[in-house]
Structure 1
């Protein structure tokens, strides 16, 4: 089953990987809380949280990794897939996965700054890249080395290989 879905919630730590063909893949989980207003207590009460696994690919993966952090409130739009699973003990269930088409911060909870990727706006396809802190043998990255603006600079340098190419 694949359907279009939009989810708003808080994300876990995004993880960036590079596929053997060079494409970037970002994955994280998003918790979408169901809240109702309790008139007796005069406050919002969380009833339950639905969890989804989210994957983003290529340019969207690169930009989201530079922009999103654990705990950020985001809006995810993409294609929903429900997968049935069963473990060794015979317990079975369903997992909800979203292949993201669009990602962004939920501006109800704060502000953000947008920096346009000039190489994409000109119609050029961005080159595949591996983040500067990636381990060569696995392609997995660590967020410990960079944060905030430092991470953006590291990603720009890793993608361009120098200052002569736009990020």
Structure 2
């Protein structure tokens, strides 16, 4: 295996509450375990059966660590992708292989439920004491845009052909002369 590891994508359940720690330099690191089980339909028994569970230790760094810590709970169904690492260990009485993933992206698995995305205001992170900041307000349009304008605010001179076509009733499918794109 290369030094960078192989990329892997899994779905599974968060099996332990995420723990958040910081390096001496202040870089946040979150860790948790994910159980990824496979199920197969047994036609003879006409029932679904478990085909084993793989256990992964997941490490998450920087802002993704803060976001995972604030967003994930034990039992949540997730999909994640990252770098696979196999680490041999020996504690003197037993030996084994730990399967670890350095996650690059994590999200809730929407096949099993819904979630609400809340964008961090100004890249807010968790303070050194581990306190979770209050979520951004319900008005997502109040968040300043990258150009200094408020999100949703009209920018002078910006082209908005789709809205212009809708506002004037012009539509190429109804014989209008202005295309909506």
TM-score normalised per structure 2? 0.66
Q: Which gives a bigger RCO, structure 1 or 2 (Cα 8 Å, sep 6+)?
A: 1
Q: 1:24, 1:129 within 8 Å by CA — same for their partners in 2?
A: no
* Residue 28 (1) aligns with residue 51 (2): no
* Residue 80 (1) aligns with residue 84 (2): yes
**1:68 and 1:106 mapped to 2: Cα distance?**
12
Q: Which among 8, 19, 23 is matched to residue 23 of structure 2?
A: 19
What SS does structure 1 have at the residue aligned with 2:113? coil
Equivalent runs, 1:82-161 vs 2, <5 Å = 82-89=86-93, 91-120=94-123, 129-131=127-129, 134=130, 155-156=132-133
- Alignment partner, residue 39 of structure 1: 43
- Alignment partner, residue 162 of structure 1: none
Q: Which structure would you say has the larger Rg?
A: 2
Query: What is the CA distance between 1:63 and its match in structure 2?
Result: 0.7
**1:64 and 1:54 mapped to 2: Cα distance?**
11
What SS does structure 1 have at the residue aligned with 2:68? helix
- Alignment partner, residue 72 of structure 2: 68
**2:126 and 2:78 mapped to 1: Cα distance?**
25
**2:41 and 2:25 mapped to 1: Cα distance?**
49
**1:101 and 1:62 mapped to 2: Cα distance?**
13
TM-score normalised per structure 1? 0.72
Where do 5+ consecutive residues of structure 2 fail to align?
Answer: 135-143, 145-181
What SS does structure 2 have at the residue aligned with 1:119? helix
Query: What is the CA distance between 1:19 and its match in structure 2?
Result: 1.8
**1:40 and 1:57 mapped to 2: Cα distance?**
46
- Alignment partner, residue 59 of structure 1: 63
**1:44 and 1:114 mapped to 2: Cα distance?**
33
What SS does structure 2 have at the residue aligned with 1:155? coil
